[in-house]
A and B are shown apart, each in its own frame.
Chain A
Amino acid sequence: QVQLVQSGAEVKKPGASVKVSCKASGYTFTSYGISWVRQAPGQGLEWMGWISAYNGNTNYAQKLQGRVTMTTDTSTSTAYMELRSLRSDDTAVYYCARGQRWLVYWGQGTLVTVSS
């Protein structure tokens, strides 16, 4: 069965960076891209970007351009999302999901807390 397992919760100080991992199993990793979506506490879903696991092509939300980098490691079927220059409003649960358009399979979410 398809599974996406994300890394654990993180606490970071403003200005730091965080890298969240998303390990995929149960399907051919390079056949699908990985999308990243975040959700601030009590708020809605925010689309962050997408990476092709086939060729590494990316699309990022404009508001995150320059601060976010999405990568994949096909040898371990793992996707990564790195966010730099963290601010308090980056505090959120970060989800990975398989695919680019509609998202059927999701990771369990990773809480990233940015606090001094």
Chain B
Amino acid sequence: EVQLLESGGDLVQPGESLRLSCAGSGFTFSTHVMSWVRQAPGKGLEWISTIGSDGYTHYADSVKGRCTISRDNSKNTLYMQMNSLRAEDTAVYYCARGFRWFASWGQGTLVTVSS
């Protein structure tokens, strides 16, 4: 069974940094494209980043230059380094397997940016 488990969400102040993690199991992590999708409170879904099995990356304009997606295939773990956080980054962050469509999702981790 595919499992994705996010961690790292927290309450931070504007301008601070945070690193999210997503541990994958039940599949060959290294061969799969992985993505991050977020959802602000009471709002819809927003794709923010994807990383390929070979390391290629794509970012939404809303996070480009502030966030870096990476992966450690030896640890079956996906990361999102988030810098210069803003109030509008407040959301539940989901990791998801794939990029064409997302058949597997984690349970999400909450990031709150507030002073």
> Do A and B actually bind?
no
